[in-house]
Structure 1
Amino acid sequence: MRRVVVIGGGIIGLAVARELVLRGAEVTVLEKEDRWGAHQTGHNSNVVHAGLYYRPGSFKARMSVAGNHSIVDFAREHGVPVEVCGKLVVATGERELPALGVLAERAAANGVPARLVSPAEAREYEPEVACVRALRVESTAIIDFPAVCAALARSLESAGADLRLNAPALGIRPRAGGGVEVATGDGVVRADALVNCAGLQSDRIARLAGLRPRARIVPFRGEYYELRPERRHLVRGLIYPVPDPALPFLGVHLTRMLDGSVHAGPNAVLALRREGYRWSDVSLGDLAEVARFPGTWRLARRYAFPVGLDEVRRSLSRRRFAASLARLVPAVGPDDIVRHGSGVRAQALLPDGSLVDDFLIETAPDQVHVLNAPSPAATSALEIAKHVADQVGS
């Protein structure tokens, strides 16, 4: 029986482990935190994406469209809360109409059920929305991704997988004759193959394993607000802006959650620590690593002004954050929102300053490294797992 060690216990790592177990492998999962899905999986908007944003034929397009179905089916099978509610992407001015048209074309190319609607039709879904045109996307869903992780872990436990929390990988080396050895605080794990699903730490794990990955992880913090309970009626479902095609993020949006609360966000600012969820979370070592990487400065020259500065201002000002929301729902004001945590996105950056737009998976003998898996990775987790398991078996 083939033995595989998976580093990282977020939704990708657990999904990969499950897929490998289904294919007959003996699997050990190493997670450095004391719980599953502690970072990106546990700090996102819990949206199951439909797949309309992504370049046709890309990993993101193919895997998110397939994942939209497979993750919903998994949730229903395992009793995880999920609701297929659809969403609106709204153009708030005439200048956004060409980009909205491109989204509609991408949706059609990717096989996503979506249609352009008039302002009157949009208000049938969202009475408070402001738009000149909108794209109605039927297959978008909301889900509890941490609960998906818990279900994956239970499935792995039932199958006899070796699941280890509080078990960071401290060293990795190849074994004579093939395979790898991974040092942990509790000893050495020996396996025929290694899969790196370490998210925010994925490039570091790759270097620990002897690779020189072409991309570096640069962390971006996304901050959320939520509507006060008495203002939740302003949003019935999911309302998104037309994204700026020059940027990798979707823009601040409004999402009704499974419990009826309405989250707003996220924005995107450089995190001052790999796992830094607040401005006060600072790591001089992490900052020095970011500063030494030439791609950081090339990215800054491209986006720091005015985009980056505007994001920082919005981070520090509830009024500015509310103004972004009011473009979508004019009735939302600064007094209607309160802070509600944040997440950190592991964004892969190349030395030339370009952001890696697609999922990035690199291989070496007896090793597979998932080096870029931002949104819609949670949506696509079971599909990414199949692709990674294919790489392990090849």
Structure 2
Amino acid sequence: MKAAAFDCDVLVIGGGIIGLSTAYALTRAAPGTSVVVLEKEPGPARHQTGRNSGVIHSGIYYRPGSLKARFAVRGAAETVKFCAEYGIPHQVTGKLIVATGREELPRLHALAQRGRENGIPVRELGPAQMAEYEPEVAGVAAIRVGTTGVCDFAAVAAQLAEASAASGTEIRYREEVRSLDPRPWGVAVGTSSGLVVRARALVNCAGLHGDRVAALAGERPDVRIVPFRGEYYELTRPELVRGLVYPVPDPAFPFLGVHLTRGVEGGVHVGPNAVPAPAREGYARSTVRPGELAATLAWPGFWRIARRHWRYGAGELHRSLSKRAFTAAVRRLLPAVTQEDLRPAAAGVRAQAVLRDGTLVDDFMIMESSRAVHVLNAPSPAATASLPIGREVARRALARLGRL
């Protein structure tokens, strides 16, 4: 096929922070590369990017040498620099990771060691030292991580879109991908409006729908997205919390537990509580999409998760249905909290990739074919790590073009 018949060199599906960071990186790594971004919503960052707690993660939790660890540590510094450069609201507040019982101390010390292995400055604190940072927080010991912060990731995504567009990227909203036809020369993509875009290379950053887009492209990855709804409350007495407070995480499950986050606007979010969602965009409990729910239930990995983690899942479901139980979980960290102090806030949905054997994919998962790069798992800290992830995905996309 002649080059003149192409509409672009690289087509990016998904206008969240990873897709837009990839477009941004493409325009800087290879000026003159024509890029089109397709996003089904009327604007950027309408799903995972715009519905999280806004935490700039330090990288302390992640296995040394993993993509998560490398990208989070690098991305935290780059995110702060990007926000400062463009005047995006942000604060480097630091955070406490708190052991509320002595049985958690070995995990807390191991976490401190992991942070040091990842090159993160950490300080181990006793109760008196903890009180200097968070007077209302209870615990037997804590880690202070100074490089953690908060920002407005939706604003970061919007700025990436603006900067990419200024460099020639065409971003088309309200264009949901309906068909994807791989060809020897590239790919032809059809959208809900009837638009057809022909590209030499494809980048799939569809987030909650990443596995479905890969399937449209003819791929058969042995992984499925299982959506988990993250339910939040807002603290009506934000003065109880000065910064960010986290529990010691359970290493058997890829969620960090109910934590306290003071955002850039001064409010404090409490959560999330993580429960399976009956729709990929199931932000409300009443949102059920039978086809998506059936697909989740048909995936063998879902039932293997259920069997393996049923006790943990039962606790999450109990806290979802009972505000009293949720409050009790918060009170382990913040004893002064009452049910009246917690006001429901907007929920988010996490796109969790699950293997057929029930393994929850913990690291970023990027799959390549001759003409495509598919981001199949980009859980937290994806927003924090978006700039280095974008560069990595852009590098792989350019390699599809023979540019590297």
Q: Where in structure 2 are there 5+ consecutive unaligned residues?
A: 400-404
1:240 alignment partner in structure 2: 246
Q: Where in structure 1 are there 5+ consecutive unaligned residues?
A: none
Asked if 1:350 corresponds to 2:358, the answer is: no
Which digits, 9 at most, give the CA deviation of each residue in 1:57-85, with x for residues without a partner? 00000000000011111111111111101
Give, in whole Å, the separation in 1 of the partners of 2:90 and 2:247: 23
Q: 1:175 aligns with which of 176, 183, 186?
A: 183
Return the letter of the residue paired with 1:246: A
Give, in whole Å, the separation in 2 of the partners of 1:388 and 1:243: 29
Q: 1:311 aligns with which of 302, 313, 316?
A: 316
Deviation at 1:180, TM superposition (A): 1.0
Superposed counterparts of 1:36-115, under 5 Å: 36-115=44-123
TM-score (norm 2): 0.95
1:332 alignment partner in structure 2: 337
Q: 1:227 aligns with which of 235, 240, 249?
A: 235
Give, in whole Å, the separation in 1 of the partners of 2:388 and 2:98: 29
Deviation at 1:274, TM superposition (A): 0.7
Superposed counterparts of 1:117-266, under 5 Å: 117-176=125-184, 178-184=185-191, 185-228=193-236, 231-266=237-272
Return the letter of the residue paired with 2:233: Y
TM-score (norm 1): 0.98
2:279 alignment partner in structure 1: 273
Deviation at 1:105, TM superposition (A): 0.6
Asked if 1:291 corresponds to 2:302, the answer is: no
Asked if 1:5 corresponds to 2:11, the answer is: yes
Deviation at 1:157, TM superposition (A): 1.8
Return the letter of the residue paired with 1:285: G
Return the letter of the residue paired with 1:195: V
Return the letter of the residue paired with 1:4: V
Give, in whole Å, the separation in 2 of the partners of 1:274 and 1:258: 28
1:371 alignment partner in structure 2: 376
Deviation at 1:210, TM superposition (A): 0.5
Give, in whole Å, the separation in 1 of the partners of 2:342 and 2:359: 34
Give, in whole Å, the separation in 2 of the partners of 1:114 and 1:161: 40
Asked if 1:388 corresponds to 2:396, the answer is: no
Return the letter of the residue paired with 1:371: L
Deviation at 1:174, TM superposition (A): 2.0
Return the letter of the residue paired with 1:267: N
2:402 alignment partner in structure 1: none
Asked if 1:341 corresponds to 2:346, the answer is: yes
SS in 2 for 1:370: strand
Which digits, 9 at most, give the CA deviation of each residue in 1:129-180, with x for residues without a partner? 101110000000100000001111111121121100000111111234x211
Deviation at 1:115, TM superposition (A): 1.2
Which digits, 9 at most, give the CA deviation of each residue in 1:288-322, with x for residues without a partner? 10111111111111112x21111111011111111
Give, in whole Å, the separation in 2 of the partners of 1:318 and 1:292: 31
Deviation at 1:114, TM superposition (A): 0.9
Deviation at 1:213, TM superposition (A): 1.1
Equivalent residues, number: 390
SS in 2 for 1:36: coil
Give, in whole Å, the separation in 2 of the partners of 1:369 and 1:318: 39
Give, in whole Å, the separation in 2 of the partners of 1:257 and 1:72: 15
Return the letter of the residue paired with 2:24: R
SS in 2 for 1:272: coil
Q: CA RMSD in A?
A: 1.0
Which digits, 9 at most, give the CA deviation of each residue in 1:26-82, with x for residues without a partner? 100000111100100010000000000000000000000000011111111111111
Return the letter of the residue paired with 2:304: R
Return the letter of the residue paired with 1:342: A
Return the letter of the residue paired with 2:297: A
Deviation at 1:376, TM superposition (A): 0.2
Return the letter of the residue paired with 1:94: R
Deviation at 1:393, TM superposition (A): 2.0
Give, in whole Å, the separation in 2 of the partners of 1:187 and 1:333: 53
The list of structure 1 runs, each at least 4 consecutive aligned residues, that deviate by more than 2 angstroms after superposition, is none
Deviation at 1:380, TM superposition (A): 0.3
Give, in whole Å, the separation in 2 of the partners of 1:354 and 1:157: 39
Give, in whole Å, the separation in 1 of the partners of 2:85 and 2:281: 32
